[in-house]
Amino acid sequence: MQVWEPYALGETTAVRAGTVELALAGAADAKVTQVADRTWLIDAPEATAAQWRVPCVRVSAFWTPLGGTCWVPPIWSAPLVSRLTAGAPVVSLIGTAGANVCTVGLAEPVAQVSFTGGVMEETGEFVFTLHGDGLRIRLDLSERPFSAAVADVAAWWKDDASDLPPAPDRARLPVYSTWYSMHQEVTAESVELQARLAKELGCETIIVDDGWQTADRTRGYAFCGDWEPNSAAFPDISTHVARVRELGMSYMLWYALPFVGKHNAAFERFEGKFLRYLDHMDAAVLDPRHPEVREFLIDRLVQAVETWGMDGLKIDFVDRFATPGGDPAPGEGTDCTDVDEGVRRLLHDLDARLRRTRPDVLIEHRQPYTSPGLWPYANMIRAVDCPLSSQENRQRTVDLRLAAGPVAVHSDMILWHPDEPAEQVAVHLINALFSVPQISVDLAVQRPDQLAAIRFWLGIFHRYLGTLQLGTLRPEQPEHGYPLVRAYDYHTTIVARYAALPVDVPESGELLVANADSDPRVVLYGTGSAHVEVHDCGGAPVRAATLALESGACVVEVPMGGLLTLRRD
């Protein structure tokens, strides 16, 4: 019988969790507690590393919060690093039909930890290796859906957190963003026009992105850092904000938090307090370990809420505080050693200051800075930029949903070519169905059929918000990018169909099937009878009938971008 030796850990202590033996490095003592079916907590406060292996039987994919679902990696793959400013400490090995094989999470939301996972060719086993200073591990070997195992890790993090403010209702309502539709060409007049049109279609918040702070239009960051409005485009920003809010829209403003451009007064002021200079961005990254840097940034950002009347902030590029190759040594005048600790202090103090003026302030973060250690300081997390890639938007928002805990997950801004058919506009929206959609096209030039698709699907987002965003989420076939996703609660099941896959009809309650595939033949499996309505991509009725479900398959035609609604008699 082959004896497995721990891989490059040195002297170890062995502990057992069910059928798995873990090798712990640097651990004088460890406690193993079973907390659920085939799920254990391993408390090893002195451990610096842990390693174990599981058989690769019926294994199909490996899931991480940074890269989503991917192929099963070899053992020599580079480590996945999670820290406060990037990633989240959870990974999952997935079997056929989306079943969990091994999901592991760490109760470490701030300090840096690393995961290495891969197949050992000699044995056909998957080897997990963790490194960190003191380990508290949740190990789930149950065979339930992997999405449930990952969601339970997020619930575990939430239980460990204290005083997490709930996400405001507005954080879960559709958004209009200026970025793809206007880029830096923003003015008070153009923003007010899009805000009015967006409100009429069902958006409740507008995010004004880069360009408000500069007259420069070269798309660089040389003019970021002083954070004062471009007076030509926004001559009276407080009055402008008030006009937008009178429409019933919340207003959020973009900030590239770490950057100070070379054409700003702050650049000279903080010379010597930079982490590094980015030539390709014409900007430096400020060092948040300096108290005066944090105080300056807080003063700059809070004026949007305290003085100009904003409802919240889009805080961008938090991940850029991390320096490739490791943090530089702290300089004179710093009050902490780790850059991540400086970031945590910055965001903590910013949050406290903002909530004095607006307790329900809206704060957006973005992939990859999705750590549970940032949950107290953000109530919106957006998928990373993936312009016009609806499939990537779907995968990223679903991945975010699994591990986002109490934070509202937003799609990347949705855009399309002006000639896009209305059916394809609806497909873009359906791909963001299980997140908060952010729209970013010029609404003033949309055709009536395109506007109808936006209005119809934003209406579905509003009407079924509870099920879509707060219900149980079950994405299927992760190895294929989630070609079918389901969300459900006690009353309603909503299925988004991105490929020609059959749909199981629940025995009770309401079923909605959103068809994002070009094949209109939706195959239903169920029994009994039900009333069926079909609407096209703009909400126009196509069919209404009583359907007799047989024990086999039943086919209902639903046009691409359309919606099937089924209610039991």
Helices (H) and strands (E) in the chain, counts: 11, 34
Work out the pLDDT band at 6, boundaries 50, 70, 90. low
Query: What percent of the residues of the chain are helix, what percent strand, and what percent coil, each to the nearest 5?
Result: 25, 35, 40
Q: Specify whether the CB–CB gap between 530 and 487 falls below 8 A.
A: no
Q: Is 304 helix (H, G, I), strand (E, B) or coil?
A: helix
Q: What is the mean pLDDT of residues 432-461?
A: 98
Tokens encoding 137: 């591990």
Q: Specify whether the CB–CB gap between 336 and 287 falls below 8 A.
A: no
Separation between Cα atoms, residue 490 and residue 502, nearest integer Å: 22
* Closest to 133 in 3D by CA, of 158, 159, 114, 160: 114
Phi, psi (rounded to 5 degrees) for 238 = -65, -45
Name residue 564's beta-bridge partners: 513, 534
Q: Specify whether the CB–CB gap between 83 and 56 falls below 8 A.
A: no
Q: Is 407 helix (H, G, I), strand (E, B) or coil?
A: coil
**pTM for the whole thing?**
0.96
Tokens encoding 536: 């096209």
Separation between Cα atoms, residue 173 and residue 206, nearest integer Å: 11
Q: What is the mean pLDDT of residues 248-276?
A: 97
Tokens encoding 427: 């497909």
Phi, psi (rounded to 5 degrees) for 261 = -80, 160
Segment (H or E) for 344: helix 339-357
Residue 517 is given by DSSP the state S
Per-residue model confidence as pLDDT tens digits over 124-137: 999 999 999 999 99
Work out the pLDDT band at 165, boundaries 50, 70, 90. confident
Q: Specify whether the CB–CB gap between 51 and 39 falls below 8 A.
A: no
CA angle 167, 255, 443 (to 5 degrees): 75
Q: Specify whether the CB–CB gap between 86 and 365 falls below 8 A.
A: no
Per-residue model confidence as pLDDT tens digits over 523-566: 999 998 999 999 999 999 999 999 998 877 899 999 999 999 99
Separation between Cα atoms, residue 237 and residue 256, nearest integer Å: 19
pLDDT of 310 over the 90 cut: yes
The DSSP secondary structure of 207-233, one letter per residue, reads EE-TTTT-S--SSSSTT-SS----TTT
Per-residue model confidence as pLDDT tens digits over 368-402: 999 999 999 999 999 999 999 999 999 999 999 99
Segment (H or E) for 394: helix 390-403
**According to the model, what pLDDT value does residue 5 have?**
59
pLDDT of 511 over the 60 cut: yes
**According to the model, what pLDDT value does residue 2 have?**
39
